[in-house]
Structure formats: structure tokens, C-alpha cells
Amino acid sequence: MVAPLKVGIAGLGTVGAEVVRLIDQQSRVLSARCGRGVRVVAVCARSKAKKRALDLRGVEWARSPLALASHPDIDVFVELMGGADDPALSAIEAALTRGKSVVTANKALIAKHGSKLAALAEAHGGALNYEAAVGAAIPIIKTLREGLAGTGIQRVYGILNGTCNYILTRMEQEGLSFAECLKDAQRLGYAEANPSFDVDGHDTAQKLAILASLAFGTKVNQKAVYVEGISSIAPEDLRAAEELGYRVKLLGVAVKTETGIEQRVHPTMVPRTSSIAQVMGVTNAVTIDGEGIPPITLVGPGAGGAATASAVVADIADIARGVRALPFGRPVAKLKQTTKAPMKHHAGGYYTRLMARDLAGTAATIATRLAEQKISIESIVQRHPDGGAAAANGRSAPVPVILITYATSEDAVHRALQAVRQDKVITGRPQVIRIEKN
């Protein structure tokens, strides 16, 4: 009989506790699938005294994460504490340098230190598995690293934050403001008391940096990601998107271009007929464009204790089977450096909403400025919210003008809009949303 795989778990919060339960509940299935048993033999947490609905009889309590990672009786160190630095970082380093394998759900740590930790895993022969760090139960890491190892990737993009997708879904379906939907998301537990990390796009950026490394063989570099959040999106943008055949999503996009790897997070208009446009609520989705194959879209729960724990246990099962994949699909020495691509070079279609002064010549001025930058218009919509009554009564209330451009450069769009603002034919700040085609 092969000896069971002995596991130590640091962190017994929602995910950690669920991992303990799942290993216990699925012990026979794991043994049958892996050819050996899997046992939790040691744990640590901030409070040993905290009441937990777990059977931890016979499980040793380590005095610290570092002590657990160094424990001579564990084969796998499972880090579920969170945080981009210590104590998680030191504990993982200690485990890897001792030749132990590591499983983590810590996207912040992988995004910041992934390349260094991968080098340690390579040098000492352990595995570094982190499926749960991106998309929870969606097997996107294994898909990019192993399932598509023989396929050249052109683009990977997706909905990587359930909080933002929930907010945009509610705004679209119920006509509510961003502030109203955010408040409700906090009440339901989908958003933190301080939601900026989610709604400003930084959570998505960490996940995208990891996916870009796997897809394109680059070193993980969150600083190379251009980031915008969703707080500027208004209900009128979502209504206009619907009329024009689009839906607004916060996307993380990594794409191979002639000048390098472009990584960006921002609100995006996607065709309503696309797979990713159908993903609503807190659900996540990732689409992969590979050479010679149709786009592949993976959809599923991107967060939550049960979903995240399932990915953690799957990573443990791989180690029990003896599977050892290079953490980023290539030796660390072959991973390329990447820098932040200037968005002024980004090319694509754009949605622009302007509040135009209701004066003679305004439309002609806007059209002239766009033409000067060689920007072609696919469609234009001008609305009088009051049916034109304001103009008839001599009042010059601003009129929403919505433009959809053909593919152009970001720099050209911003130069044109700057000129329009200097002409003083619009009020306020133009709303600009990029369009991502299938």
C-alpha cells in the first residue's frame, strides 16, 4: 500500500474549513482516483479556541504558519491565509525550499511573487499549484498550462470579478445607479465594506497578470496591467449598449500584438450574441482564442468557499497522483519580461457619450474633429430627453450624443475629444468605453 499524502493547512476560514470537510467527505473517492489516501495531519489558524464545525481530532495544531510549513511530517503545505507578503510568503518559501509541494488560493501572492516561488519549486522538486487563485472552480489554470500546451494563444479575456459582474447586471436589468447596486451588493455579502479593490479593477488585474503569464510565457507582472474600474458607468450607458446590440462587462484582456503583450482591465462593450455577454450575476467566465481552434469559454462560480475548496482539493489530488507541472507551463528561466503597454497604442472600436450643447453647428464641429483624426463613425444617436421642448422654449439644455466608431487608436480618440472640449460644444467629461469584438 502507498502511504497517504499528508497535508498541512494554514488558515481555517471559510475556504480552509471547507477543504478539511471535503477531504474527509471524499476520502474514498480521492483514494480511488489518486491511488493513495489524502490525510490532513496538521493545521494552524489565528485562533485555536474559535468554535468550528470541524472534526479535528487527531490533527496536530502548529504554533505558526512557518512551523507548519517546516513540519517534517507533512508532504503538502496548503496556504489559505491570504495576503501578498508575510506570513504567507515566508511560509511558502520555507515549504518549497524543503522540497515540499505547495497549494494556494492566494492570487495576490502569486501575482506579486509567482515567478520567484516558481523558481524555488523548480529548484527543489516540489509542485506549486494555484488553480483556486483565478476563477475558483473554473479550471482555467490547468486549461492554459496543460490542456492547451500545444496551442498558440492569441488572446485570453474574461469576467474575473463576481462583484463587478453582479453590479453591472443589476444596473442593466433594473435601471439602478452604480451606488445603489454597490450598496445592495454589500448588504448581500458580494462586496466588501471597502469595495475599491473589486470595483476599481485591481482584483481582476491580479488574476489577469497570472493568466497572461500562462498564456504567453511572460513573468507575472501586475504593474504591466492597465486598470480602470466600473464606478463611472451610468444606467444610460447600459441602455445605449442594449439598443446598439452590446452589453457592458468589466473585462480583463491579455492579447498578443505586434508590439508585445497588451494587458488591460476596463469596462468593455461586448456583442450581446457573444458567449461572455450571457454571463450574468456573480458568475465568472474566461474565453481563450487559440490558433486553429474556435474560441473556448469556461464559465462557473469564481468565488465562494465550496467552489474555491474544490479547486484546492483538485490541486492536492494532482500531487497525490504524482503530477508535477511547471507552475507557469515553462521553466522560469524562459519566461519573458513584460512591461506596461501604453494604451494610446490600443486599437479597436469605441463607444463615446457626449453631452452636446444644443446649438447650431455642434454636430458638424464634432464630426470635423473626428475626421481630423481619421476616425470613422459606425453609428451616431442623438437624443432630446424632453422631446426637444427645451430647444423650442429657447433653453440650450445639453443633448446626449452617442457615437460608435470603427477600429481606431486610443490616442486618436482622446485627441479628437480634447479638441471637441476646447471647442466648448460639449459639457462635462465624455464617457468612453472600449468595444471588444468576438
Positions annotated as catalytic residues are 207
Determine the Cα–Cα distance for residues 310 and 304; give it in Å rounded to an integer.
Answer: 10
Determine the Cα–Cα distance for residues 246 and 73; give it in Å rounded to an integer.
Answer: 55
Partner residues linked to 300 by β-bridges: 284
Which residues, other chains included, contact 81 with Cβ-Cβ below 8 Å and sequence gap of 6+? 10, 11, 65, 87, 88, 106
Do 148 and 290 meet the contact criterion of CB atoms below 8 Å apart?
A: yes
State the virtual CA torsion across 68, 71, 75, 78 in degrees, nearest 10: 10
Do 350 and 404 meet the contact criterion of CB atoms below 8 Å apart?
A: yes
C-alpha cell at 127: 509542485
How many other CB atoms are found less than 10 A from the CB of residue 58? 8
3-state secondary structure 178-214: HHHHHHHHHHHCCCCCCCHHHHCCHHHHHHHHHHHHH
Give the DSSP letter of residue 2.
Answer: P
User: 333 φ, ψ to 5°?
Assistant: -65, -20
Q: Is the dihedral of CA 109, 115, 117, 121 positive or negative?
A: positive
Residue with grid cell 498564456, as numbered in its chain: 215
Buried b (16+ CB within 10 A) or exposed e, 287-314: bbbbeeeeebbbbbbbbbbebbbbbbbb
Do 106 and 206 meet the contact criterion of CB atoms below 8 Å apart?
A: no
90 by DSSP, 3-state: which? helix
The DSSP-derived string for 270-317 is EETTSTGGG--TTEEEEEEEETTS--EEEEEE-SSHHHHHHHHHHHHH
* Identity of the amino acid at 110: I
Distances (CA, A) of 314 to 73, 132, 276, 379: 21, 9, 26, 48
